[in-house]
Amino acid sequence: MLLVPGSANLAAPLQENSTTPGENPDSTETIVLAGGCFWCLESDLEKLPGVVEAVSGYSGGHVANPSYRQVSSGNTGHREVVEVTFDSRMLPLEDLLQVFWRNIDPLDHGGQFCDRGEQYTSAIFVTTPQQREVAEASLDAVQAQLADQPIATPVLPASPFYSAEDYHQDYAKTNSLRYNYYRWRCGRDQRLKQVWGDTMSGSEKA
């Protein structure tokens, strides 16, 4: 990123619940999602009712405790990711993934939007067989909706997650002017509109 100053299920609304997120430990899950710039994905996902925490970081590579500079080089095998902790009673994984898909371009094999390279490619990192089953079903639904266009977002087994540097966390809140300029310049929401139409889940729909 630049550091600069048709499935009916997919269209279903998120379920509403009055329970406070995180108060049911048995229903709390964690999943790691890669969708290009983690500033953007973190910002969009942490707004969802039922999300307990969203943390920007790195996963999928072969270097322990990588830095942003190392990951940005494209030589560590890591992707920029967001580790999402959520209350599945308030926000079922199916619904979380519905929002995730509409925050990415699943047809892009070379990155996401203006950010290019393996470190910006999309993926779903699952931690349990149940998560894999749900994730693969959601991928199949997206593939059916987008017809014959090959989906570039794999479902992968979880690998070590490393939290990104503090200045990357909640970047949309702490550096809103730079964040909004980056997001506009990168064309993220414009491309989401092209892929998903009125069902996009980018900042214009948040």
Active site residue 40: no
- The one catalytic residue among 37, 40, 114, 186: 37
DSSP letters spanning the chain:
-------HHHHSPPPP--SPTTS-GGGEEEEEEE-S-HHHHHHHHTTSTTEEEEEEEEES-SSSS--HHHHHTT-S--EEEEEEEEETTTS-HHHHHHHHHTTS-TT-SSEETTEESGGG--EEEESSHHHHHHHHHHHHHHHHHTTTSPP---EEE---EEEPPGGGTTHHHHTHHHHHHHHHHHTHHHHHHHHHGGG--STTT-
Q: Which residues are catalytic?
A: 37
